Amino acid sequence: MHVSYSLDKLESLVARDRTFLFTLTSYVTVLAIYANSILFKSPVLGGIATILFFLIDSIFLGSAIFKKESPFFRLVFGILLLAMLLGSLNWIALIAYNLDISKSTLALLATTTISSALNKMVNRKNAI
């Protein structure tokens, strides 16, 4: 019960991102992943940045597409949708160019943009 309540509060905070704070945070995590891949090569920094990226963007996707489901369902299926979106964008980058760290980072940035924009469109449509 307590975990579901905390997840619901976190999800509503991220999904109602009116000031684009969580979108900006997701972009910063992508830059942290990129910098870690090039410079630091720290598993701790990469793990934290990846977890934050997946958490924020999966909440964006889950709340945009599965609005009437439970918070846990939205999070789990948001993660699955995010993985599919990342795989698709990386596949396109692989076909169009040779996939390296820079192209993978561009796919992460595109994923964040798509997730945030989809969440904003659904939230605006529901507010009207």
Q: Which residue has the higher pLDDT, 30 or 105?
A: 30
- pTM value is 0.87
Task: Kindly tell me if the per-residue pLDDT of 2 is higher than 60.
Answer: no
Angstrom CA distances, 73 to 32, 51, 62, 97, 119, stand at 28, 18, 8, 35, 16
Q: Which residue has the higher pLDDT, 37 or 96?
A: 37
- Predicted confidence at residue 34, as pLDDT, reads 95
The 10s digit of each residue's pLDDT in 68-114 is: 888 889 999 999 999 999 999 888 877 877 778 888 888 899 999 99
Nearest Cα to 77, choosing from 61, 100, 93?
61
